[in-house]
Amino acid sequence: MKEASVETIRLSKWYGQVVGISGLSFRLGRGVFGLLGPNGAGKSTLIKVLVGQLRPSMGEARIYGERVWGNRAILRRVGYVPEHDSLYDDLTAVEFVTMLTRLCGFTTSEAESRAKEALVRLGLEDAMERRLGGYSKGMRQRAKLAQALAHDPEVLLLDEPLTGCDPLARHQVIELIKELGKAGKTVIVSSHVLHEVEAMTTEILLIFKGQILAEGNVYAIREMIDRHPHLIRVECSDPRRLAQALIAEEHVLRVGIEAGSLVLETKVPDRCYPAIPRLARQVGVKIQSLTSPDNNLQAVFHYLTEQRKPWQAERSPARDAEERAATGRTA
């Protein structure tokens, strides 16, 4: 079994009669992971449990094998960017980041040095002495990211970190998150904007109505949803001629012309992809591009949430027994 940086065991949190998350069990190692789901799916609730802001109603959240709730030592190894900010507008960015870094046990000089380094890393070197009250939304987001990075945590939990960022800052933050994953950090990025997460990672946790619908590599998940046709769009010199050649293929379910491009459906994409250029050469059609609107997070999200119920591999009795033993419960 892989070493887990972050783990939940039948984790649930409810607010009176309202369920935030229900029975979540997963293990994440190093790298970048997208925590996906629509607004209200339970993403922020899960993150707040993982950073010790909320106490679980049932089950456990662990970081490096230690329970999170009330564990100050383990939380020093975590960096957190909340979705909503409540910054100290009278402080400058360097004062703000220095103050929070000192809470992790650094001296004033160490904390200030780390704060400046983090702010430079986020592109705020020319604004670090300005008060936060004069910052734009995107700059405030980057200041929050700087305080999450300054103490060099091993686990980062980022709740909608790109909100309000302009395109340049958005690209900068995405590249930084990818670098952190490559450096061996565990980074969990919450978002409902799927193409943003897709730019960072292909490893996802998809949450809907407080439950995990799917987890793992998005392309592997997509391949397992074989009851849904796989769409392929082909831009070529003569879509109609290529369509006539493809319609005879047994693995092609439907062909059509949309906005001057050939669009086809198949349930056997591994056979269909090589057949398209082969047939195009045979009939003298030149292909400009071949893409799949289904081979992305948006399609996975649509197909899974459309069913309104969890999609997961069947749980094994051994896994259930393992989780009961880990939490000290009996069957």
Domain ranges of the chain: 6-218+310-327, 229-293
SS3 content of the chain, % helix, strand, coil (to 5): 35, 25, 35
Give the residue among 141, 40, 8 at the shortest CA–CA distance from 82.
141
Residue 328's pLDDT band (cuts 50, 70, 90): low
The pLDDT assigned to 277 comes to 92
Helix or strand or coil: residue 186? strand
For 6-218+310-327, give the CATH class.
alpha beta
- Residue written as tokens 């609107």? 293
Residue pair 310/212 in contact (Cβ under 8 Å)? The answer is yes
How far, CA to CA in Å, does 34 sit from each of 61, 234, 320, 323? 18, 29, 25, 24
The token pair at 282 is 């045979």
Predicted confidence (pLDDT) at residue 89 exceeds the cutoff of 90? yes
Q: CA Rg, the chain, in Å?
A: 23
Beta bridge partners of 264: 232, 255
- For residue 253, pLDDT beyond 70: yes
Phi/psi at 163 (5° precision) = -60, 125
Alpha carbons 288 and 238: distance in angstroms, whole number:
11
- Structure-token match 């950090």, residue found: 185
**124/214: higher pLDDT:** 124
Q: Is there a contact between 261 and 237 (Cβ–Cβ < 8 Å)? A: no
Coil/strand/helix, residue 36: strand
pLDDT score of 331: 40
Task: Compute the distance between CA of residue 45 and CA of residue 198 in angstroms, rounded to an integer.
Answer: 22
Closest CA to 61 of 38, 45, 83, 40: 45
Angle, alpha carbons 310-312-318 (nearest 5°): 125
Whether 59 shows a pLDDT value over 70: the answer reads: yes
What gap in Å lies between CA 235 and CA 262, rounded to an integer?
6
Task: Give the integer Cα–Cα distance in Å for 170 and 295.
Answer: 23
How much is the average pLDDT of 16-26? 93
Burial category of 90 from C-beta neighbours within 10 Å (exposed 0-12, middle 13-18, buried 19 and up):
exposed
Q: Supply the pLDDT for residue 295.
A: 59
Three-class SS state of 31 = strand
Find out whether 226 and 266 touch, Cβ atoms under 8 Å: no
Q: Is the pLDDT reported for residue 266 higher than 50?
A: yes
pLDDT reading at 316 higher than 60: no
| pLDDT score recorded for residue 95 | 97
Write down the pTM of the prediction: 0.73
Mean pLDDT is highest, among 64-68, 84-88, 188-192, for 64-68
For residue 301, give every residue at least 6 positions away whose Cβ sits within 8 Å of its Cβ, in sequence order, or none.
36, 194, 206
As a whole number of angstroms, the distance between CA 179 and CA 172 comes to 11
Measured CA to CA, the distance from residue 96 to residue 111 in angstroms comes to: 11
* Architecture of the domain defined by 229-293: 2-Layer Sandwich (3.30)
Cα angle 170-92-87, degrees, rounded to a multiple of 5 = 65
